[in-house]
Amino acid sequence: MLKQISLRIPKTTFDVVSDLSKVEHIERSMLFRQALVKGVKQLRQEAAVDLYKEGNISISGAAELANLGVGEMMDLLIKNGIKSDLTLEDLKEERKTVGKII
């Protein structure tokens, strides 16, 4: 279900999206929705990385916040120069726990 909102954006942003909609033959509103979805995804991942880096969230909590799997979250942390403190034993134990739940 889509919700309708009203917001103010810089004219330059509006112009760029308008030009892109003409070139791509896509409705301007669709491009804004796509940009918003991508932006929210990026914000979630950035928040997850920051919270993990500060020690305020576990790697599984960060993965959940970022809407990623734990392995993908680990890759994102590495990409951002953050080394995980997880050991191979931690991962094996988490795998056992997940197996019991499923």
pLDDT score, position 93 = 72
pTM of structure: 0.75
More confident residue, 90 or 36: 36
Q: Which two tokens stand for residue 4?
A: 């309708």
Convert the pLDDT of each residue in 51-79 to its tens digit: 999 999 988 899 999 999 988 998 999 99
Selection from 87, 59, 83 nearest residue 72 by Cα: 59
Q: Is the pLDDT score of 90 beyond 90?
A: no
- Distance in angstroms (rounded) separating the CA atoms of residues 90 and 78: 18
3-state helix, strand, coil in the chain (%, to 5): 70, 0, 30
Q: Which two tokens stand for residue 78?
A: 């590495």
pLDDT score, position 101 = 62
* Cα distance between the two ends of the chain: 30
Region 16-25: what's the mean pLDDT? 96
